[in-house]
């Protein structure tokens, strides 16, 4: 079962969410269902408001890293991903440190999401 832990200076305590296995929920939709207010606007990978920092729990399996084209473009514009990190994600399944919550599909993995509460402020 996918496990997502949200951390932020804007939360009183960390929020742990269990997403449905095989679901195609985004990190943003899982967050909003839990009342976690990650800033967002377009929900379509274009505004960059939902920038998050992602950490993977040590020793837990990681899934293939799939970045959408919109996500790659916006993360490059925000200076949050390099061409090398995109290549590493696509060919070596090495996760980049920043993602867009509205583009990140939750998979069968355990992740920790940090956001600052400021749009594009992770």
List residues binding ligand FES (CB under 6 A): 40-43, 45-50, 100, 102
Residue 75 Cβ vs ligand FES, minimum distance, rounded to whole Å: 10
Nearer to ligand FES, 21 or 33 (CB): 33
Between 58 and 69, CB nearer to ligand FES: 69
Q: How far is the CB of 71 from ligand FES (least distance, A)?
A: 8
Nearer to ligand FES, 19 or 102 (CB): 102
CB of 41 to ligand FES, least distance (A): 5
The Cα 66–Cα 119 span in angstroms is 23
Cβ neighbors of 75 (< 8 A, separation 6 or more) are 51, 67, 81, 96, 98, 99, 100
Handedness of CA 37, 4, 111, 27 (dihedral sign): negative
Residue whose CB is less far from ligand FES, 1 or 66: 66
Q: How far is the CB of 32 from ligand FES (least distance, A)?
A: 11
Pairing of strands 110-114, 98-100: unpaired
Q: By the 8 A CB rule, do 19 and 28 touch?
A: no
| Strand pairing class (110-114; 3-7) | parallel
């Amino acid at each position: 079962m996918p496990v997502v832990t949200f951390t932020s200076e804007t939360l009183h305590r960390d929020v742990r969410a269990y997403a449905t296995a095989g679901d195609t929920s985004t990190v943003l939709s899982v967050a909003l269902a839990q009342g976690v207010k990650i800033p967002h606007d377009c929900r379509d990978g274009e505004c960059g408001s939902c920038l998050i920092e992602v950490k993977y729990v040590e020793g837990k399996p990681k899934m293939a890293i799939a970045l959408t084209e919109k996500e790659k473009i916006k993360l490059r514009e925000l200076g949050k991903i390099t061409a090398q990190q995109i290549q590493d994600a696509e060919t070596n399944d090495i996760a980049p440190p920043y993602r867009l919550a509205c583009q990140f599909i939750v998979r069968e993995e355990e992740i920790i999401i940090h956001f600052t509460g400021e749009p594009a402020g992770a």
